Amino acid sequence: MLITLPAVAWGQEREAPSLTLKDLRGRTLRLSDYRGKVILLNFWATWCPPCGAEIPDLIKLQKEYGRQGLQVLGVTYPPERQARVLRFTQRLKVNYPVALGTREAKALFSSDETLPLTIIIDRDGKLRDTISGILLPVEFEEKIRPLLMSPNPKGETKHVQKN
């Protein structure tokens, strides 16, 4: 009896899709530029109350774990206006890059309709997990902190963009 295994077997995480967007200042933001870091790709919207409630926690995580290789990347979910997003992020003092996203950009990573939605990508650029809804401290401890313990396979990241 022949059993056909799926292309992605257990323990073999899928490579993160290529993603190129514009940040709030019109600069190009490429997901691949952050290879070597543990990425939290956070899909959010200004009109989503839990998304706004989660942002201070993400700011704190970026501040506390950035030196260990954590990189939060915010990607908005439509409908959004750039000026509104800019005001929103400035008011909250967001300390990580934020790009204007599309429905298609989110669909590349997950079919989950929930917002906020955070995709965890490891230092090798592999998709490791999806956090549906607000990221809870226990989820950080279980799913993200262990990835930060792993060494950077390529040494320093090739590019770090700051907002």
Among positions 30, 59, 110, 134, the unique one binding another protein when judged by CB under 8 A? 134
CB-count exposure of residue 29 (10 Å: 0-12, 13-18, 19+): buried
**Is 51 a residue that touches another protein (CB under 8 A)?**
yes
**Binding of another protein at residue 53 (CB under 8 A)?**
yes
Q: Does 59 bind another protein (CB under 8 A)?
A: no
DSSP alpha helices (H): ranges in 67-163?
A: 82-92, 103-107, 137-139, 145-149
Q: Residue 68 CB, nearest distance to another protein (Å)?
A: 24
Q: CA 38 to CA 1: how far, in whole Å?
A: 41
DSSP 8-state code for residue 109 = T
Stretch that binds another protein, among 1-9, 63-71, 82-90, 107-115 (CB under 8 A): 107-115
Catalog residues that contact another protein under the rule CB under 8 A: 45, 47-54, 113-116, 132-134, 136, 138
